[in-house]
Chain A
Amino acid sequence: MHRTGELYGQFETLDQQRETASLGMWVFLVTEVLFFGGMFMTYTLNRSTYPEVFGEASRSINLTLGAVNTVVLIGSSLTMAMSVWAAQVGKKQLVTIFLILTLILGTVFLGIKGVEYHEKFVEHHVPGLNFNFEPGADTATNAHAQLFFSLYFAMTGLHALHMIIGAGLLIWLIKESFKGRFNPEYSTPVDLVGLYWHFVDIVWIFLFPLLYLIDRH
């Protein structure tokens, strides 16, 4: 990613440079899909093997926090999209404002995630750390519930890691935006971080029903 709008040595035109950057980001997102895909595969098989225990374990996580987080994250996608729009139409101040809003919403999401993790920690639901599903659960149920929570932490953990990286990128964008760098001719960094941020949102859109909404009836 380039800091200014000038043409880099290996390119012939700015259009080519912009196109290349965008294609690069999309291809990167493909690898991300398959990266998460391996976990979704593990999840699919285990859920189909142990549907009851997965349901029971799912009911022990906090639906309200999960739903609120979904709203927060989709909201942050909206503000991110708006900042791309603002850059495209040249409203430099709006770019900064929307980027800051995105960062705030992202941080709120991570904060709520932290609260959830804490709850799980208190309930001894963290695998690898004194895991105990519920008093009186037999060994098998305990092991299978541990599988659910291993996946829960692996998937949401990897997602949160992506959020943290995204937040880092946003902070850098905000700094640049304060200097008024982004304009209709040059908005590539905002576009690309936007793509990344929306992708992270999409992962959550699938994680939410798969982890929080099993057998809620």
Chain B
Amino acid sequence: MSDNSADTHSEHHIVSPKVYLTIFAALMVCTFLTVEAAKIDLNAYFNGLNIIVALVIATFKASLVVLFFMHGKYSPKRTKLVIVCSVFWLAIMLFMTMSDYVTRPWK
């Protein structure tokens, strides 16, 4: 159909179980890391470092799930656009709302 037939078969990319197991292992390591990192007082080095580390690890984990478990890496461009849009709009909501609060004290 029209302009999207080229993408059709990439939907059916088969990912081997080995890849899945590797990703699973990586996710486990990250889970362990995030729990351990939370137990260290990183805020002493830089205020807010704890939450930054926690979120970076969580985002990394989520990316692994999207790219491999959900086949995001092998999906048509259209699907990738959909994924980017969801993240982008979530970011609009979070950042623009918080931009109000963090710039409140004024003068």
Contact = CB atoms under 8 A, between A and B. Distances in A.
Q: Do chains A and B touch in the complex (CB under 8 A)?
A: yes
Interface of B is mostly: helix
A26 B83 contact: yes
Q: Give the interface residue-count category, chain B.
A: 35 or more
Contacts of A18: 8, 11
A14 B5 CA distance: 12
Contacts of A15: 5, 8-9
A73 to B, nearest CB: 10
Given A26-B82, A30-B86, A198-B69, A41 B20 contact: no
B98 A217 contact: no
Interface in B22-64: 23-24, 27-28, 31, 34-35, 38-41, 50-51, 54-55, 57-58, 61-62
B14 A63 contact: no
Interface of A is mostly: helix
Interface of B: 1, 4-5, 7-9, 11-12, 14-17, 20-21, 23-24, 27-28, 31, 34-35, 38-41, 50-51, 54-55, 57-58, 61-62, 65-66, 68-70, 76, 78-79, 82-83, 85-87, 89-90, 93-94, 97-98, 101
25 contacts: A12-B1, A15-B5, A15-B9, A18-B11, A19-B8, A29-B86, A34-B89, A37-B93, A71-B28, A75-B24, A78-B21, A78-B69, A81-B15, A85-B20, A198-B65, A198-B70, A201-B69, A202-B65, A205-B62, A206-B62, A208-B34, A210-B54, A216-B38, A216-B39, A217-B38
